[in-house]
Amino acid sequence: MKSTRIKLWAAILFIACISCLSCGTDKGVDSGENVSSTDFVAKESFSFAVGILDHARLRLEGINGSVTITGKSDADSVLITGEKRVGSESTEDAEEHLQLLEVKVQDLGDAVLVKTVQPEKTYGRSYVVDYTISLPRSLEVLADNVNGTVIIGSLDNLVFVNNVNGQITLNEIFGNAFANLVNGRIEGEVTLPSDGTINMAVVNGNIDLDIPVNTSAEFSAIVTNGTISVFGLHLQDLVSTPTSLRGTLGGGQGAISLITVNGNITVSGF
């Protein structure tokens, strides 16, 4: 029981640290005086393409907005499209401050970095960037966001997602999967590689994970206020308490760790 509490509070501390790190913005031009509403919206579409040479990963640093990242078997580049929006009390003010909302795309040699840059102080304005990204299935994806849904699918490599408020959805992931969230829900369909890892943690919200019935991993699920349910999977050496569940799937080569503070955990085999 002591070990369970240590793991739980370690996860909470980790997520809290991620939240603080994610909330930072680049210091830019001061965006002026307070506005009374965000009823008027200025928006602008964007599109970037980065050819893949020796790139191993995509890094995304978002702030507010939705993120959709999809692997393509025939892709030979990273294609970044989307829309940036600013809401303010007048059309003129929104259009003026839209120029302070940037999407930066950098080729780092081994990685492509996509980053939202906005004023440190919003003065009541809303700054939003929605991303739609396609890329080769073989790339790793590391995504940080603060407010909004993050959907990642059809990848054959590592996926690492940190979000604060919103939902994380991982579809058809064939690789290691890490997802950390403060408020919202994590949904995942993940096929582990040999000796692979799935690690998911939520403070307020549910975790719903689908894995193949032949998955081989040491399994651990921990809740504080909630329930744990497992369907269609055979756990060996099962150890169960009202707030935790442990066991071995198959030969136990990999590792699955699921933690939520206020919420339920559901794991199903397919």
The pLDDT value given to residue 53: 80
The pLDDT value given to residue 217: 97
The pLDDT value given to residue 169: 98
Number of domains comprising the chain: 1
The pLDDT value given to residue 191: 98
The pLDDT value given to residue 22: 45
State both tokens at 153. 């699918």
The pLDDT value given to residue 33: 82
Domain-located, residue 71: no
The pLDDT value given to residue 30: 53
| H or E element in which residue 240 lies | strand 236-241
Domain-located, residue 118: no
In order along its 270 residues, the chain shows pLDDT tens digits of 445 444 555 555 455 555 444 444 554 445 568 999 999 999 999 999 999 888 999 999 999 999 999 999 999 999 999 999 999 999 999 999 999 999 999 999 899 999 999 999 999 999 999 999 999 999 999 999 999 999 999 999 999 999 999 999 999 999 999 999 999 999 999 999 999 999 999 999 999 999 999 999 999 999 999 999 999 999 999 999 999 999 999 999 999 999 999 999 999 999
Residues 6+ apart with CB under 8 A from 53: none
State both tokens at 192. 């582990």
Domain-located, residue 114: no
Secondary structure (3-state) at 106:
strand
Domain-located, residue 44: no
Domain-located, residue 84: no
The pLDDT value given to residue 52: 85
Domain extent at residue 218: 1-23+146-270
Quick count: other Cβ atoms within 10 Å of Cβ 129?
25
The predicted model scores a pTM of 0.90
Integer angstrom CA distances of residue 205 from 14, 32, 67, 126, 233: 16, 37, 19, 25, 23
Domain-located, residue 167: yes
Integer angstrom CA distances of residue 231 from 218, 235, 255, 268: 16, 10, 18, 5
* Distance, CA of 97 to CA of 117 (rounded, Å): 12
Place of tokens 């150890």: 239
Domain-located, residue 221: yes
Q: How many residues does the chain have?
A: 270
Domain-located, residue 239: yes
